[in-house]
Amino acid sequence: MSDKEIIYRHSRAVRLTHWINALVLLVLLMSGLQIFNAHPALYLGQASDFDKPILAMNAVRTEDGLKGVTTLFGREFDTTGTFGLGGDAANGYQRRGFPWWATLPGHRNLSMGRRWHFFFAWLFLLNGLVYLLWSLGSGHLRRDLAPSGEELRHVGVSVSEHLRLKFPKGDEAKRYNVLQKIAYLLVALILLPLMLLTGLAMSPGMDAAFPFLIDMFGGRQSARTIHFIAAGLIVIFVVIHLVMVLITGVWNNLRSMITGRYVIEPTEKRP
């Protein structure tokens, strides 16, 4: 036990903004799916070409009754029960994109979904600004997140170690490893700001105030599609993040994100 070391891993600002962000992103995701369900189709360009959605979830009447059909780039998939059509014959079918258990509120209510979404979008913005300004001011970004040239050169080694579920110990565990740094930077500096900008690009008011928002993403419907894809990428990040939290010592990780304290396992010394 004596060679175990406890370090102060996460500052108060990181811990606070992390948990606020976790809650805010969950509400934004679920209320976002509610909004998506009001018109469960995505398009490219300035306007909706209803004949050519790149993604659409519809309930379609066939000879065998109602079916949920998801169209992706013109290919049709039967997604009855998952996307397009939910429920069953006994309790009645529901036409909807995503299942109602994934949305907020948990039944069709676009106006409430919008209210949740925009209120939490403001929290998201404020929390994100606090995090970014603090990260710049305190040196967190430069000290803890920016990967060094040395680290980037050895990114392949880190990938292969991760694939073998071999994680840094000892002194190396006191810092984020290079894959963590890249993942966190991609999310904090690219994906989350992209969510904000594509979200604003869907606002007719903001489009009039800042026409570059429309051009930046190639049109409002493209912005809506990118908003959806970026949200999906964040979900993938969160899933990987949670898996990593679980397999690299869930209690140590959780404690460090709550109290800041993190136990460094000594480098392996086999008895």
Distance of closest approach, residue 15 Cβ to other proteins, in angstroms: 18
**Interface with other proteins: number of residues (CB under 8 A):** 46
Residue 108, classed as helix, strand or coil, is: coil
Choose, by CB under 8 A, the member of 220, 231, 262, 264 that binds other proteins.
Answer: 220
Q: Does residue 183 interact with other proteins by CB under 8 A? A: no
The string of DSSP codes covering 90-102 is: TTEEEEESS-GGG
**Alpha-carbon torsion 229, 235, 236, 241, what sign?**
positive
Q: Which helix (H) or strand (E) holds 254?
A: helix 250-258
DSSP annotation of 109? -
Distance of closest approach, residue 116 Cβ to other proteins, in angstroms: 6
- Nearer Cβ to other proteins, position 30 or 194? 30
- Please report which residue ranges of 43-191 form alpha helices under DSSP H: 110-138, 140, 149-153, 155-163, 178-185
Q: Does residue 92 interact with other proteins by CB under 8 A? A: no
What are the beta bridge partners of residue 93? Answer: 87
Q: Which helix (H) or strand (E) holds 88?
A: strand 84-88
Task: Kindly give the pairing relationship between strand 65-72 and strand 75-78.
Answer: antiparallel
Site for other proteins in 234-253 (CB under 8 A): 246, 250-251
Distance of closest approach, residue 248 Cβ to other proteins, in angstroms: 13
* Window of 60-68, 85-93, 134-142, 217-225 that interacts with other proteins by CB under 8 A: 217-225
Site for other proteins in 117-136 (CB under 8 A): 118-119, 121-122
Distance of closest approach, residue 239 Cβ to other proteins, in angstroms: 13
CA 107/CA 164 separation, integer angstroms: 43
Choose, by CB under 8 A, the member of 14, 24, 41, 57 that binds other proteins.
Answer: 41
* Window of 12-20, 78-86, 112-120, 129-137 that interacts with other proteins by CB under 8 A: 112-120
Terminal alpha carbon distance of the chain = 14
Match 């500096």 to its residue by tokens: 189
Q: Does residue 50 interact with other proteins by CB under 8 A? A: yes
Q: Does residue 194 interact with other proteins by CB under 8 A? A: no
Q: Does residue 139 interact with other proteins by CB under 8 A? A: no
- Nearer Cβ to other proteins, position 205 or 271? 205
- Nearer Cβ to other proteins, position 27 or 155? 27
CA 101/CA 92 separation, integer angstroms: 16
Residue 210, classed as helix, strand or coil, is: coil
DSSP annotation of 143? I
Contacts with other proteins by CB under 8 A lie at 26-27, 30, 35-36, 38-39, 41, 43, 46-51, 104-106, 109-112, 114-116, 118-119, 121-122, 202-211, 214, 220-221, 224, 246, 250-251
